[in-house]
Amino acid sequence: MNDELVRAWRADAAAPDTVLLDGFHALKHALRFGGDVRRVLTADRAALLALAAELAGDVAPAVAATAVELPEAALRTLVPRLHPTGVIALAGRPTTGANLAALGRQPRTAPVVLLENPRNLGNVGAVIRLAAGFGATGVVTTGDLDPWHPNVVRGSAGLHFATAVERLALSGLPAGPLYVLDPEGADIRTVAVPDDALLAFGTERHGVSAELRARADRLVAVPMRPGVSSFNLATSVAMGLFHWMSGRPPGVPLPGGPADTP
């Protein structure tokens, strides 16, 4: 039975549209936000069901319906590093068409975050987690990094399914005013970021490209103490999205899906 589970997992994991969910929180968010969860394996099914009942009662029935127990030693052969919760799962990756439809929908009620040529997988995952929390429409990346890489999904705690995540060329960006974070821009505290903005961030080392800078409708800057080289990418995105959110009346719910509550 164990050998059959391992073979079936490996066959499913090899499919090009499959996403690895690493740990309970990634599984929880995928289920909560409508992800197509196909397989769930755990080293301790009873402990997983107890954890789901305690932290995520809304998805506990779905966890119970899909979770299958497999010895920890066998689980460790299926992933590079087993999550401390001892849970792994496979889900279907949303199609490019579905992501593009979400990103391009008008009128847009929340910004799209654009990461130009990001390099660090963990940073991209953290940005996607922030975007989901703030109710951003989505996260678009350019360059070679796959924003659905397993380490990015791990960093986002599975919140890829709560927002639209896609890799695009600069020529294929969604419509909307382009607000680019740049040290020479206007102080962001003096600028209102509209709901339909593309809020763009470059790399920590090089900033945005000359091409993206030239396309900007507005250059904006986050004030920073002299002598400090840069903020972490995810920190910069958090400040940009918080500034946008601060322009909304208090008490008005953020766009997006249901709140992430147990």
DSSP string, 22-45: ESHHHHHHHHHTT-EEEEEEES-H
Q: Which of 142, 123, 156, 130 has the alpha carbon at shortest distance from 26?
A: 156
* pTM summary value: 0.92
Please work out, in degrees rounded to the nearest 5, the angle formed at the alpha carbon of residue 198 by the alpha carbons of 170 and 246.
160
**What pLDDT was estimated at residue 258?**
37
Dist CA 28 CA 249 (whole Å): 30
What tokens were used for 194? 């509209």
96-246 fold: Alpha/beta knot (3.40.1280)
Which residue type does 233 have? Answer: L
**What pLDDT was estimated at residue 257?**
42
b/e sequence 46-76, b meaning 16+ C-beta within 10 Å: eebbebbeeebeebbebbeeebebbeeeebe
The CATH class, in words, for 2-92 is alpha beta
Instruction: Give Cβ neighbours of residue 26 (< 8 Å, ≥ 6 apart).
Output: 89, 153, 154, 156, 157, 158
Dist CA 59 CA 261 (whole Å): 11
Dist CA 21 CA 12 (whole Å): 13
Which pLDDT tens digits describe the chain residue by residue (262 residues)? 688 999 999 999 999 999 999 999 999 999 999 999 999 999 999 999 999 999 999 999 999 999 999 999 999 999 988 999 999 999 999 999 999 999 999 899 999 999 999 999 999 999 999 999 999 999 999 999 999 999 999 999 999 999 999 999 999 999 999 999 998 999 999 999 999 999 999 987 778 999 999 999 999 999 888 888 778 899 999 999 999 999 887 877 778 643 333 3
Domain ranges for the chain, please list them. 2-92, 96-246
**What pLDDT was estimated at residue 256?**
67
**What pLDDT was estimated at residue 202?**
92
